[in-house]
Structure 1
Amino acid sequence: MSNQALALILERAKDDEDKASLALNQARVERENYYIQLQQIEQYRLDYCRQLSERGQQGLTASSYGHLQKFLNQLDETLTKQKQAASQFDFQVEQCSEHWHEMRKKRRSIEWLLEKKQTERQQFLDRQEQKMMDEFATLQFARRMSIKR
């Protein structure tokens, strides 16, 4: 495969790695936002329970208490659903991370191959140069010997 073709493949691999990196960063941001939202809901629930307790000390009707308790149950259900979604966000980050590592490995392999081909090319050129120098030295020696005769 030519160096030019490998260079094009390398550019494509770099683009793929960049895209994978962006996807990984996006997945991390989404997971972080999820945890912030979860924390806000938990904090809201705590604040609501504190207010419910304060209002309960002042006296509540059974009807009011029932409505407040129903809302608290809804908050608990929301928290349960939110906590179940955590594994999905973690899984997405894990998948994106694995994909990014694969793209990085692919890019590095192509770079290694290019470097190997360049090293081989340089070694070939060095051998060619050495061969020409040896031939030149042999011709000079042969001329000197023919002049001395």
Structure 2
Amino acid sequence: MSDRSLQLILERAQEDEHQASLALNQARIDLDSYREQLAQIEQYRFDYCRQLSERGMEGLSASAYNHLQKFLNQLDETLLRQREAGRHFEQQVEICSGQWQDARKQRRSIEWLLEKKQHERQLRLEKQEQKLMDEFSTLQFARLMANRRSEQ
């Protein structure tokens, strides 16, 4: 495979890694946002329970108490659904993390291959240079010997 082809593949792998990194970052942002939202709902529920307790101390009609209790049950259901949704956000982070790691390994493998080819090319050039130097030395020696014989 030519170096240009490998370079194009490397550029594509770098772009894939970048896109996977962006997806991972977005998944983490979504998870953080989810956690903030969950904390807000939990805080709202806590505050609502405190208010319900305070109002209960002042006296509530059965109808008002049932209405407030029904709302509290709805908050509990919302929290339950939110916690179940949290698993989805955590899974997304895991999936995106795996995809990013795979893309990173792919990029590193291609970089390694390019470095290996470059090293092999450098070794070939060094061998060619050494061969030329050896041939040049041999020719010089042969000329020197020929000159000495002709001088005798």
What TM-score do you get using the length of structure 1 for normalisation? 0.99
Q: Distance in 1 between matches of 2:147 and 2:61?
A: 127
Please give the root-mean-square deviation of Cα atoms over the aligned residues, in Å.
Answer: 0.4
| Matching residue's letter, 1:3 | D
What's the counterpart of residue 71 of structure 2?
71
1:66: Cα distance to partner?
0.5
Q: Distance in 2 between matches of 1:102 and 1:5?
A: 21
What's the counterpart of residue 46 of structure 1?
46
Matched, 1:132 2:122: no
Note the alpha carbon deviations across 1:108-145, whole angstroms, 9 max, x for none.
00000000000000100000000000000000000000
Note the alpha carbon deviations across 1:39-96, whole angstroms, 9 max, x for none.
0000000000000000000010000000000000000000011111111111110000
Matched, 1:25 2:14: no
Matched, 1:117 2:117: yes
What's the counterpart of residue 147 of structure 1?
147
| Matching residue's letter, 2:97 | S
Q: Match of 2:125, SS? A: helix
Q: Distance in 1 between matches of 2:104 and 2:51?
A: 53
What's the counterpart of residue 107 of structure 1?
107
**Identity in percent:** 67
Q: Distance in 2 between matches of 1:100 and 1:84?
A: 25
| Matching residue's letter, 2:111 | E
The gaps in structure 1 that reach 5 residues or longer are: none
| Matching residue's letter, 1:81 | R
Runs of 4+ in 1 over 6 A off after TM superposition: none
Q: Match of 1:60, SS? A: coil
1:104: Cα distance to partner?
0.2
Q: Give the aligned length.
A: 149
1:11: Cα distance to partner?
0.3
What's the counterpart of residue 92 of structure 1?
92
Q: Distance in 1 between matches of 2:83 and 2:147?
A: 96
What's the counterpart of residue 15 of structure 1?
15
